[in-house]
């Protein structure tokens, strides 16, 4: 199915390139401008590298670096010059692109935002990270849910970011809303390597969904990111994997959303995304369609609480140097809770 990394593209294929972008060091607005130019150069490289490529995917933090810096002068806006430059690059190179910005949020902490731009330069997907990597990241919890769009060649496409992928509910939500391809962009470093690998595969298999995943790569002098571009088929097998840790390498593969659709319709054994809502359909007509999961019921009721909740030691970002928050989710900065 890989088609030699997309060199031999089939009629129903979608060719994805995952960029193991060199981890940047960002301190000033000039650094942001320079990194914007670097990303645009890599969009051009992707097009020159493989004329069949439909979608080029850049990692989380590819513009911002891993400093967790929230100074307004290095934050971005969706209608700002950096995103406009990404739009122009996609339009000029006739390629879809997935990009990362740290988005200014006047009502709270910045958002960790991912964008998908089509080959005409139009922003077609905006996603704000639902699960920041606590206690390390200071980003506001996302408020847009998980959008699913018609991507290249009509494939249903979703985007999640880094730590999101450690929650099986995130991939499940993507699939439940119809996603056939789920992108996962990240800035993870080497200690997460093994969990990165098996969650990328599990997210695919448990939902009969292709996952395309990529981290930053290389060092900024303080942090070392691992690359690990991975494109995983809907049966959990790895189609392409960047294991060398070579910065700026583009990991490519052809994927087949049409075969995802075929499997979701035709599989009996391990059609888990269907069977979750139709338990035991051999025994009872249509299967049991209740919700037997206490955690789901409690979350909807606003009463989610672990048996060991009172014993959890890390519940804010103070261990990583952030002040303890006083504002509740949804409250603007000017109305911080007492």
Q: Where are the domains of the chain?
A: 3-275, 294-335
The pLDDT value recorded for residue 334 is 64
Q: 3-275: what CATH class?
A: alpha beta
User: Closest by alpha carbon to 204, among 158, 242, 245?
Assistant: 158
In total, the chain counts a number of residues equal to 338
**Enzyme catalytic residues:** 60, 129, 162
**Integer Cα distance of 230 and 214 in angstroms:** 6
φ/ψ (deg, to 5) at 311: -100, -5
Dihedral sign (CA 63, 69, 75, 81): negative
> In the Cβ-directed half-sphere of 255, how many Cα atoms lie within 13 Å?
38
The pLDDT value recorded for residue 332 is 80
The pLDDT value recorded for residue 337 is 43
Q: Can you give the pLDDT of all 338 residues of the chain as single tens digits? A: 577 888 989 999 999 999 999 999 999 999 999 999 999 999 999 999 999 999 999 999 999 999 999 999 999 999 999 999 999 999 999 999 999 999 999 989 999 999 999 999 999 999 999 999 999 999 999 999 999 999 999 999 999 999 999 999 999 999 999 999 999 999 999 899 999 999 999 999 999 999 999 999 999 999 999 999 999 999 999 999 998 889 999 999 999 999 999 999 999 999 999 999 999 999 999 999 999 999 999 999 999 999 999 999 999 999 999 999 999 998 887 654 44
**Integer Cα distance of 188 and 291 in angstroms:** 34
The pLDDT value recorded for residue 336 is 46
């Amino acid at each position: 199915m890989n088609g030699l990394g997309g060199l031999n593209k089939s009629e129903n294929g979608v060719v994805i390139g995952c960029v193991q972008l060199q981890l940047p060091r960002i301190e000033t607005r000039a650094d942001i401008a320079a990194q914007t130019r670097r990303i645009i150069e890599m969009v051009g490289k992707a097009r020159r590298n493989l004329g069949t490529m439909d979608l080029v995917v850049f990692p989380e933090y590819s513009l911002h670096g891993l400093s967790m810096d929230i100074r307004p002068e290095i934050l971005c806006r969706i209608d700002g010059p950096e995103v406009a430059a990404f739009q122009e690059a996609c339009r000029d190179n006739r390629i879809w692109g997935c990009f990362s910005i740290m988005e200014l949020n006047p009502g709270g902490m910045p958002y960790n935002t991912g964008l998908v731009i089509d080959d005409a330069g139009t922003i077609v997907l905006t996603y704000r990270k639902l699960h920041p990597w606590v206690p390390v990241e200071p980003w506001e919890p996302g408020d847009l849910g998980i959008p699913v769009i018609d991507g290249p060649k009509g494939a249903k496409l979703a985007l999640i970011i880094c730590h999101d992928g450690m929650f099986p509910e995130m991939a499940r939500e993507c699939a439940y809303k119809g996603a056939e391809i789920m992108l996962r962009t990240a800035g993870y470093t080497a200690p997460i390597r093994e969990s990165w690998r098996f969650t990328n595969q599990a997210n695919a298999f448990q939902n009969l969904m292709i996952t395309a995943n990529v981290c930053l790569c290389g060092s900024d002098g303080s942090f070392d990111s691992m690359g690990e571009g991975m494109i995983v088929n809907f049966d959990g097998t790895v189609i392409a994997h960047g294991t060398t840790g070579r910065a700026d390498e583009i990991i490519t593969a052809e994927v087949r959303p049409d075969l995802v659709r075929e499997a979701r319709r035709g599989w009996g054994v391990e059609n888990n995304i269907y069977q979750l809502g139709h338990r035991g359909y051999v025994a009872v007509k249509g299967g049991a369609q209740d919700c037997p999961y206490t955690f789901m019921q409690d979350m909807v009721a606003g009463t989610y609480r672990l048996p060991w909740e009172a014993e959890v030691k890390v519940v804010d970002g103070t261990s990583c140097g952030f002040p303890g928050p006083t504002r509740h989710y949804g409250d603007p900065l000017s109305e911080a809770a007492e």
